[in-house]
Amino acid sequence: MSQKILLTSKEVTIILNRLACQLIEKHLDFSNTVLIGLQPRGKYLAQRIKQILESEYQINNICLGFLDITFFRDDFRRGEKPLEANKTQIDFLVENKKVVFIDDVLYTGRSINAALTAIQSFGRPTEVELLTLIDRRFSRHLPIQPDYRGRQVDAINGEKVKVCWLEKEGEDAVYLIKE
C-alpha cells in the first residue's frame, strides 16, 4: 500500500477560504441559508467553513446542523459489518430555506442521494446545493455534481482518497492511497 499527498495543510486552508468566499457570493448574509454537514466526515468540513465565515467575514447567526444518513442509504443492511449511526443534530427547520450539504469526498453520489431523502424529515427546502472538498468525478453512480468543489481528483476504483482533519487525525491533509 502506498500513499501520495494530494493536498497539504496550507493547500487545504487556501481551498477552505475559497469555498467560504464562493458561498458568500451566492448567499450573502446567510439569512435564508442553512449549512448541513453530512455525518461523519462532512461534520469537520462544515464546522471549518462556518468558523471561517464567522471569523474572517463576520457573518453571524449561521445555522449549522449535522445529518446522519446511515439508515437512508441504499446499501443499508447489505454488508456483513453492522453499520454504526452517528447523531443527527438539526435544531432548525429547513422549510423554505436554501440548504447547502457539506461533505468531504463526493464519490458515487449515493450518500448525497440518501441525504436528499433524509432532509425531508426536517421540511422542504427551496433549494439544495452541494459543497465538497474532493470530487472524484470518474466514480459517479448517480447524476450528482457539486456546486462548490475544492479539488477534482481523477482516482480510479482501486485508489482511495483519505481526508485527514486536524480535529480528528491531528493534521489537515488529503492523501491518495493505492492498495
Specify whether the CB–CB gap between 78 and 70 falls below 8 A. no
Q: Is residue 179 a part of any domain in this protein?
A: no
Q: Is residue 87 a part of any domain in this protein?
A: yes
* Top-confidence range, 48-57, 79-88, 133-142: 48-57
User: Can you tell me whether residue 113 is helix, strand or coil?
Assistant: helix
Q: Is residue 177 a part of any domain in this protein?
A: no
The pLDDT value recorded for residue 82 is: 62
The pLDDT value recorded for residue 46 is: 98
The pLDDT value recorded for residue 42 is: 96
Q: Is residue 115 a part of any domain in this protein?
A: yes
CATH number at residue 24: 3.40.50.2020
Residue 108 in this model has a pLDDT that exceeds 70: yes
Nine cell digits for residue 140:
459517479
pTM of the model: 0.93
User: What is the average pLDDT score of the chain?
Assistant: 92
Residue 113 pLDDT grade (very low, low, confident, very high; cuts 50, 70, 90): very high
CA angle 96, 99, 104 (to 5 degrees): 170
- Mean pLDDT over residues 124-131, rounded? 97
Q: Can you list the alpha helix ranges (DSSP code H) found in 3-109?
A: 9-27, 42-57
| Region for residue 123 given its phi and psi (left: phi exceeds 0; alpha: psi -120 to 50; beta: otherwise) | left
Buried b (16+ CB within 10 A) or exposed e, 65-82: bbbbbeebbeeeeeeeee
Q: Is residue 114 a part of any domain in this protein?
A: yes
> Which of 14-23, 35-44, 125-134, 135-144 has the lowest average pLDDT?
135-144
The amino acid occupying position 60 is: N
Q: Is residue 176 a part of any domain in this protein?
A: no
- The structural domain count of the chain equals 1
Backbone angles phi, psi at 7, to 5 degrees: -135, 130
Nine cell digits for residue 173:
491533509
What is the per-residue DSSP string for 97-110? -EEEEEEEEESSSH
Q: Is residue 101 a part of any domain in this protein?
A: yes
Find the domain containing 17 and state its range. 10-157
Using one digit for the tens of pLDDT, what is the confidence trace for 51-74?
999 999 999 999 999 999 987 866
Residue 76 in this model has a pLDDT that exceeds 70: no
Q: Is residue 4 a part of any domain in this protein?
A: no
The total of other beta-carbon atoms located within 10 Å of residue 148's CB is: 19
